[in-house]
């Protein structure tokens, strides 16, 4: 009797193990990764800011897959093999190209550089620490002719995630002194809360009047000691 009870219990428990197979799909194994680039240079963005969209045709459920961007402009998405459409959305530091999708063949690990057309870019950024604080040198370039410049800003932060939203110090450049294609210099004195740190992070952001998002240079760590 007892044996019978045990064996039926065992049979019940073993049922738990077989049920799982049916409704579980295998996780996607392929990866689509790459960078947002303009003329081969990665475009920096705000942390948790602009996104890309991936679409796939041929399925009853039609919904986009959001692709989040790292602040250095790189991204990665786990996908199944197949053909996808990649959309560059508006309200980004680059021109909206909503109807101009990029067809992507994902097979295994696929690399893709997504070309965008930023309104403005900053080239040759460099930061030097000196006894007065930090000096930034860079060149502002106008890419989209119809765009107007709104802000050029130097950001200093304690953390590697430094941008318009999160920063310790933000200094606006005098726009009247900026001419496109010419080197610009900005000088900023560090306040007390940053002065005595071992290092800070610096970044330059540039914003057109058209979009709410900034184009950023790559983050740079500056040793203070």
Partner 1 sequence: MKLRLISMGIAMFAVSLLNSCNHDDWFDRESKTLITDQQLWNDPKLLTSLVANYYDRLPTLHGVFNTGGMTELDDAMWSGHRDQNWRNDFQFGDDYGRYWDYGLIRDLNLSLENIAKFSTQLSDAQRKQYNAEIRFIRAFVYFEMVKRMGGVPIVTTQLIYDFSGDPTPLQVARSKEHEVYDFIYQELEEIKEDLAANNASKTRANKYAALALESRAMLYAASIAKYNNLMASPITTTGGEVGIPANMASAYYSKSLAASKEIISAPFALYTENADKGANFYDMLNKKTGREVIFAKDFATSLKVHRFAYDNIVRSLTEDNESSSTISPSLSFVESFDYLDGSKGTLHTKNTDGNYVAYSHIDAIFANKDARLYGTVIYPGSTFRGRAVSIQAGVAIWNNNKYQLHAAAQLGQQLKDELGKEYAGGLWTGFDGPLYDAQDVSNTGFYIRKFVSDAPAASTRGTSAANWWPWFRLGEIYLNATEAAFELGQVADATGYVNKLRERAGFPANSVTNLSMDIIRNERRVELAFEDHRFYDLKRWRMAHLVWDGSENDTNAVVYGLYPYRISRPGHVDDGKFIFERVRPARFRRARFFRMANYYASISQDVINKNPKIVRNPFH
Interface residues toward partner 1, by CB under 8 A: 48, 62-64, 89-91, 96, 98, 148, 150, 164-167, 170, 208-213
Q: Which is nearer to partner 1, 33 or 48 (CB)?
A: 48
Smaller CB separation from partner 1, 91 or 113: 91
Task: Return the exposure string of 168-185: e unless at least 16 CB atoms fall within 10 Å of the residue's CB, then b.
Answer: bbbbebeeeebeeeeebe
How far from 19 is each of 12, 13, 15, CA to CA, in Å? 11, 11, 7
CB of residue 152 to partner 1, shortest distance in Å? 16
Least Å distance between CB 145 and partner 1?
Answer: 14
Cβ pair 116, 143 in contact under 8 A: no
Report the half-sphere exposure of 1 (CA within 13 A, side-chain side). 0
Query: The tokens of 111 are what?
Result: 């690399």
- Pick between residue 101 and residue 166 the one whose CB is nearest to partner 1: 166
Can you list the alpha helix ranges (DSSP code H) found in the chain?
2-18, 192-195
Tokens (6 digits) for 166: 């999160």
Minimum CB separation of residue 72 from partner 1 in Å reads 20
**Least distance to partner 1, CB of residue 5, Å:** 44
- Distance in Å, CB of 210 to partner 1, minimum: 4
Of 121 and 211, the one with the shorter C-beta distance to partner 1 is 211
Q: Nearer Cβ to partner 1, position 165 or 183?
A: 165
d(CA 68, CA 56): 17
Cβ nearer to partner 1, comparing 89 with 110: 89
Buried b (16+ CB within 10 A) or exposed e, 80-103: eeeebebbbeeebbbbbbeeeeee
The CB-of-26 to partner 1 minimum distance in angstroms stands at 25
């Amino acid at each position: 009797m007892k044996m019978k009870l045990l064996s039926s219990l065992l049979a019940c428990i073993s049922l738990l193990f077989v049920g799982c197979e049916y409704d579980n799909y295998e996780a996607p194994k392929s990866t689509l990764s790459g960078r947002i680039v303009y003329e081969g240079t990665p475009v920096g963005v705000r942390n948790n800011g602009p996104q890309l969209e991936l679409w796939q045709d041929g399925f009853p459920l039609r919904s986009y897959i959001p692709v989040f961007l790292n602040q250095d402009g790189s991204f990665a998405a786990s996908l199944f093999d197949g053909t996808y459409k990649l959309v560059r959305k508006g309200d980004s530091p680059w021109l909206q190209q909503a109807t101009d999708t990029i067809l992507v063949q994902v097979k295994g690990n696929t690399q893709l550089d997504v070309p965008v057309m930023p309104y403005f870019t900053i080239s040759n950024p460099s930061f030097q620490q000196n006894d007065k604080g930090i000096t930034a040198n860079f060149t502002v370039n106008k890419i989209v002719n119809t765009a107007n410049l709104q802000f050029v800003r130097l950001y200093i932060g304690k953390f590697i995630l430094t941008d318009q939203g999160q920063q310790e110090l933000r200094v606006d450049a005098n726009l009247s002194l900026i001419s496109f294609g010419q080197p610009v210099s900005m000088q900023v004195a560090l306040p007390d809360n940053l002065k005595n740190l071992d290092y800070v992070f610096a970044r330059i952001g540039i914003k057109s009047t058209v979009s709410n998002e900034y184009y950023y240079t790559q983050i740079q760590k500056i040793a203070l000691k």
